[in-house]
A and B are shown apart, each in its own frame.
Chain A
Amino acid sequence: MKFVDEYRNADLGRALSAQIRAIVEPGRQYKVMEVCGGHTHTIYKYGVDDLLPENVELVHGPGCPVCVIPMGRVDDGIAVAKVPGVIFTCFGDMMRVPGSLGTLLEAKAAGADVRMVYSPLDALRIAKQNPDRDVVFFAIGFETTAPSTALTLMRAKAEGVRNFFCFCNHVTIVPPLRALLESPDLRLDGFIGPGHVSTVVGALPFEFIPKDYGKPVAISGFEPLDLLQSVYMVLLQLAEGRCEVENQYARVVPYGGNERALQVISEVFELRPHFEWRGLGFISHSGLKLSRAYAAFDAELRYEVPGIRVADPKACQCGEVLKGVIKPWECKVFGTACTPETPIGTCMVSSEGACAAYYNYGRFARERVVA
């Protein structure tokens, strides 16, 4: 299949693996963070880490949009969903994310009208079909998803839809990366840059990583050979003493990003002064809210939103997982009290969560099969 088969070739994978082994220094430990949850899943689905030398460790980053939503924002969403007459819409993953008072799925079971959608456009369609009811969309995601919400709100405005509202939880990728790089908990040698976010923002926003922190970056695609090649590119930079942003995913990611997508984001959204991230706390200028021009669609202005900060359950270590400080199997409740069927933390809920990847692909312990 075009765009797929050529990136899953086992012989090429073994050849890349050999090239990686040839350039790493024996005795040196390498830690490379893959920022995106989609990458984490590819790594474990295809056993990419088993093709790496033992002294090359992949560390999982905060790039899963569901995982970084704090419990308080889930509670806020549930509060809006329980307003009489409201139809509350969200992506499927979000329905199962626990807040302190339960999940949206449980709120639905208790009588709230919560509906799963595949896109903001689906939510707008529901609003047009139900003109006598308010329809709220729980918007989450990084710069990859923000254009979808923005275009839908522009469409709603152009069509004069007055019963469609957005509970905005969009976030941006650069501030948490800077926060991680400033963290004393973590020593990283380089980054596998997020492919889909970069489709929108391009490679330019990641230039601060080599310039300010001296770490190499390779923006990567999502097939196994993409990731192996990206690891090789990061390690080659280290071996050659270089430090720059390279674009392995050049077949999809333009260096300057998608100009039109960036325009619609800046038209519909503006930066919040600060936004809370699960595990990372409040990070300045890391979240988006609706701009003044779209205030009429802002669910946080339309409804009373509690806005109470809620601490994660003590047993849950999603925060440490999201910061790459521990591996999922090191969490006390991983695979026992916390499973995809009965998740305690967001990282086990989302299809992009690191804990879900480890669980679904049988990584329950430290052992790995090094080829």
Chain B
Amino acid sequence: MLEALDLECVRGERRLFSGLSFTVSSGQLVHLSGENGSGKTSLMRILCGLHTPYNGSVRWKGRPIASLDEDYHRDLVYVGHLNGIKDELTPLENLAIATTLSGISADADRRFDALSAFGVAACADLPVRYLSQGQRRRVALSRLALADDRPLWILDEPFNALDSTAVAQLRQLLSAHVGGGGMVVLTTHLDLAVEGVETQGLNLDLHGSAA
């Protein structure tokens, strides 16, 4: 279980949110929403351990993530605003490096299948710099297709730049992950309806400095 306890985030002179607490249990999806600048990305980075909250703490399986460090990261997949892929490498090479570093066992066939799941198998051997923004996003998201054993997925605007086909593919993947007992925290400005998935909505505007 992931627990956010009394989180407060301050960036520069501005308090983005305070008193924010929620839990994410097995088989649950949390949909974070809020206006631009409400602190969604900051919250995602706090949940990952990339950003330190001004107050409060995040706990994973009952222990603060700061004390777990690498053990927490082995249970986590994070897809941020930035795709985290290299323009000079091909999608297959990017995926091979990402899986090797994350300790995900995936041979070349599985990696190709993951790209196929997001409809980018045709450009698997092209350098990423030749791909469109949507295709790059698909390559970044294809890591999810190989990370079904990672219980916690934290996804920052995963639907950005995706067409309707890719949105449907991602919804299907989210549904399978949560259905299999996984946890997902994501931000999106889309209306999120994933079939058969228990979704908890969380609006950051209600916890902002103006609230």
Q: Answer yes or no: do A and B interact.
A: no
Q: Which residues of B contact A (CB under 8 A)?
A: none
Q: Which residues of A contact B (CB under 8 A)?
A: none
